[in-house]
Amino acid sequence: MLRRARKTPLWRQTQGLNLGSDTPTLVLGIETTCDETAAAVVERQPDGSGRILSNIVRSQIDEHAPFGGVVPEIAARAHVDLLDGLIEHAMTEAGIGFAELDGVAAAAGPGLIGGVIVGLTTAKAIAMVHNTPLLAVNHLEAHALTPRLTVPLAFPYCLFLASGGHTQIVAVLGVGNYVRIGTTVDDAMGEAFDKVAKMLDLPYPGGPQVERAAATGDATRFAFPRPMLGRRDANFSLSGLKTAVRNEASRLIPLEPQDISDLCASFQAAVLESTADRIKVGLRLFHEQFGPPRALVAAGGVAANLAIRGALQDIAARAQTTLIVPPPSLCTDNGAMIAWAGAERLALGLVDKMEAAPRARWKLDETTQTPAKFANTRARH
Which burial class, exposed, middle or buried, applies to 303 when counting CB atoms under 10 A from its CB (0-12, 13-18, 19+)? buried
Is the CB of 277 or the CB of 333 nearer to Zn ion?
333
Q: How far apart are CA 298 and CA 372, in angstroms?
A: 25
Is the CB of 59 or the CB of 368 nearer to ligand KG4?
59
**Residue of 346, 339, 350 lying closest to 21 (CA atoms):** 346
Q: Is 205 among the residues that bind ligand KG4 (CB under 6 A)?
A: yes
Of the residues 207, 217, 282, 326, which one makes contact with ligand KG4 according to CB under 6 A: 207
Is the CB of 38 or the CB of 96 nearer to Zn ion?
38
49 to 13, 42, 52, 152: CA distances (angstroms): 22, 10, 11, 7
Q: How far apart are CA 18 and CA 2, in angstroms?
A: 27
Q: How far is the CB of 337 from ligand KG4 (least distance, A)?
A: 10
Residues 77-136 that bind ligand KG4 (CB under 6 A): none
CA R_g for the chain: 21
Q: How far apart are CA 23 and CA 292, in angstroms?
A: 33
Cis peptide before 156 (omega within 30 of 0): yes
Choose the binding region for ligand KG4 from 99-107, 207-215, 233-241, 345-353 (rule: CB under 6 A): 207-215
Q: How far is the CB of 22 from ligand KG4 (least distance, A)?
A: 35
Q: How far apart are CA 43 and CA 223, in angstroms?
A: 49
Choose the binding region for ligand KG4 from 87-95, 190-198, 284-292, 358-366 (rule: CB under 6 A): 190-198
Choose the binding region for Zn ion from 162-170, 172-180, 270-278, 322-330 (rule: CB under 5 A): 162-170
289 to 46, 171, 286: CA distances (angstroms): 30, 10, 5
Q: Is 206 among the residues that bind ligand KG4 (CB under 6 A)?
A: yes
Binds 120, which of ligand KG4, Zn ion, none (CB < 5 to 8 A, cut-off by type)? none
Binds 335, which of ligand KG4, Zn ion, none (CB < 5 to 8 A, cut-off by type)? none
Q: How far apart are CA 303 and CA 166, in angstroms?
A: 12
Q: How far is the CB of 36 from Zn ion (least distance, A)?
A: 8
Residues 271-330 that bind ligand KG4 (CB under 6 A): 300-302, 304-305
Of the residues 100, 102, 186, 211, which one makes contact with ligand KG4 according to CB under 6 A: 211
Q: How many CB atoms within 10 Å of residue 13? A: 14
116-144: b (≥16 Cβ within 10 Å) or e:
bbbbbbbbbebbeeeebbbbbbbbbbbbb
Of the residues 19, 28, 30, 34, which one makes contact with ligand KG4 according to CB under 6 A: 34
Contact predicate 338/31, CB 8 Å: yes
Binds 211, which of Zn ion, ligand KG4, none (CB < 5 to 8 A, cut-off by type)? ligand KG4
Q: How far is the CB of 56 from ligand KG4 (least distance, A)?
A: 15
Q: How far is the CB of 176 from ligand KG4 (least distance, A)?
A: 21
Q: How far apart are CA 346 and CA 343, in angstroms?
A: 5
Cα 31 to chain centroid, rounded: 11
**How many residues in the shown chain lie near ligand KG4 by CB under 6 A?**
20
Tell me the torsion sign for CA atoms 100, 40, 160, 162: negative
Q: How far apart are CA 376 and CA 320, in angstroms?
A: 28
Q: Is 349 among the residues that bind ligand KG4 (CB under 6 A)?
A: no
Binds 268, which of ligand KG4, Zn ion, none (CB < 5 to 8 A, cut-off by type)? none
**Residue of 363, 281, 294, 301 lying closest to 323 (CA atoms):** 294
Residues 306-335 that bind Zn ion (CB under 5 A): 333
Q: Is 138 among the residues that bind ligand KG4 (CB under 6 A)?
A: no
Query: What residues contact 257, with CB distance under 8 A and at least 6 apart?
Result: none
Q: Is 122 among the residues that bind Zn ion (CB under 5 A)?
A: no
Q: How far is the CB of 215 from Zn ion (least distance, A)?
A: 25
Residues that bind Zn ion (CB under 5 A): 163, 333
Residues that bind ligand KG4 (CB under 6 A): 34, 163-165, 190-191, 193-194, 205-208, 211, 300-302, 304-305, 332-333
